[in-house]
Homo-oligomer: A and B are copies of this chain.
């Protein structure tokens, strides 16, 4: 049976000031009526019973997360007492899936990506399931054909081709490469052998638990102690006590880079991790001057800007170019588009500057 694990953590700095500590990106309506998280549930919904969709989030965000997911059973929202990166998250979720369905297959997805069209996403999950039918111990990843030498993503180097049968393009993985420098990224693109790691995975819960045990025995030990109490009154206390001490490591680094059983399917869909405000332009109508606008905005002699005003507010711009202007929750961000990589340190500095109310 197919299960879904939606990873819904996130610190909420890259969409500041709209995103806040208790309202990270996945809980935002960046465009349309549904939040990123709700869209992620909507996307997997046709393939997985609501009851088998687990959402793993942070303790700070658990209430807000649950309130957006009234359609899920409340116990399917799992709150991590502290953020421990994706290996601990995936391992905990795998244990919960396996305890209910020892042969269960899990689709692991971040809650804050955009994937379109949904049918192509569904087809790619079917391809992954087909690979697991041939090789039940496979770890299936998804790779996006890179369109620029992005230094913020992990890359997957394709190995020998795999035949899936449904026409999907799949390969064994030769190796994983974490965020490269620009020169290396350019080389990757030139070879044609590299894909962006979309951070979406399909595997049997039992397989990933075995792999964690093999490559990260201490992590597996901790998870196992926590999971041993699942279904008992001690579970919450054990989770609170042990989870914060688990090794903080991404599942890619902990397991995928070390395993020989990894396959990659070329994503047949358009994918974006909606990394920062610049990505929002893809959701919005862009006017002839190149401005992407949301909410009440008046722009005069302005071009190539992203202009967002909250409900009830107004943003007026005059004679500017290449800016991001965001009004939300009493705060205003005005940034040069090409300086948005400095937003994280800016937001992290708010607390020290006495502005923690805006975090």
Contacts and interface: CB of A to CB of B under 8 A. Distances in A.
B314 A336 contact: no
A104 interface: no
A47 interface: no
A332 B319 contact: no
A327 interface: yes
A119 to B, nearest CB: 39
Contact of A343 (B318, B332, B353): B318
Most chain B CB inside 10 Å of its own CB: which residue of A334, A343, A345:
A334
Contact of A330 (B314, B319, B358): B314
Given A296-B355, A301-B342, A334 B317 contact: yes
Interface in A79-122: none
B314 A346 contact: no
A332 B327 contact: yes
Contact of A355 (B314, B330, B334, B343): B314
Given A314-B330, A325-B334, A342 B355 contact: no
B323 A320 contact: yes
Interface string A324-359: 010100111111101110110110011001010010
A315 interface: yes
Contacts of A290: none
Nearest to A336: B319
A355 B312 CA distance: 10
Contact of A342 (B296, B300, B358): B300
A107 to B, nearest CB: 37
A300 B339 CA distance: 10
